[in-house]
Every structure is written in C-alpha cells, then in structure tokens.
Amino acid sequence: MDDKTLDFWRNHSVRFLEMALTDHYREVPANPDGYARVVRECGDTVEMFLMVRDGKIRTASFETNGCIYSVACANTAVHMASGLTPEEARRITPDQIVEFLETLPPEEEHCAEQAVKALRLALADARDGERQPWKKYYQRR
C-alpha cells in the first residue's frame, strides 16, 4: 500500500469506515412507503427508501452513485432513522451525521446535507402516502 492509501485508513474513525464500507442498508425495496431522490449539481444521487409500520420506521435503505463519503453519510442517515418515529427522524441533522462519523472531512459535509435532505423528502413522501395510499403502488423510481 502506498502512503496515500495508508493515510486514508489512519485518518478515519472506525465508525466512518464501518458506514463507508458496509452495505447492510443499501437496497432498493419494492413499493416503499416513502421514497426520495436527491441529485447534486455534480450528478451524485442519493435515493432513500422507507417502510413505516405502526408509527415507526421499520426499514430504511438507500442507493447512491456517489463517492465513499456519500455512502457513509447515507448509510448513517438510515442507520440513525431506523426504529424512530417519522417525527423523531425529521430531527436528524447534517451536524449529527458529521458528529457520528467523527472524521468526515469538512469539504465533504455537503454529503451529510444531501443524505438528510433525501431522508426528509422520503419522510414527507411517506406522510403523503398515508393520505393517499394508492400512490404507493405506482412506480416512482
């Protein structure tokens, strides 16, 4: 390994590496209760999928074509939202994601903002789906 690669591993917390490299929450479920897609100017996309049962987020997942920082932030957002009520999940902030990851570079904090935006839009979609449940069965992706 070269020095640059070794520095990457040394400069990141275990939490960051875990969220950047695991794919527990990376999936595209059929007919989610809440769905959102956020695309940045650079083309990086984060999609969020939520399944809400009995007033709690039972399943949260994501997909992205973004960098390792996008993966870490989206993974953290769904990790933090899982098991919460939609109201509790709405309170998740980009700063909380940055704090949780411990070593997200400041120049990559926009990835946390994108993940939170996708989460909040998916929560709004789930809320709209409660009012109009028939919409859930139409492809939105």
Sheet holding 56-64, edge to edge: 34-39, 45-53, 56-64
pTM value is 0.89
pLDDT band at 9 (very low <50, low <70, confident <90, very high): confident
pLDDT band at 31 (very low <50, low <70, confident <90, very high): confident
Average pLDDT value over all residues in the chain: 91
Q: Which range has the worst mean pLDDT, 2-6, 17-21, 106-110, 118-122?
A: 2-6
| pLDDT per residue as tens digits for the range 96-109 | 999 999 999 999 99
Q: What is the pLDDT of residue 138?
A: 61
Give CATH for domain 3-132.
3.90.1010.10
Length of the chain equals 141
Which residues is 51 bridged to in the sheet? Answer: 59
Q: CA 71, CA 77: separation in Å to the nearest integer? A: 10
Which residues is 64 bridged to in the sheet? Answer: 46
The answer to whether the beta carbons of residues 26 and 129 sit under 8 Å apart is: no
- The answer on pLDDT for 20 being more than 70 is yes
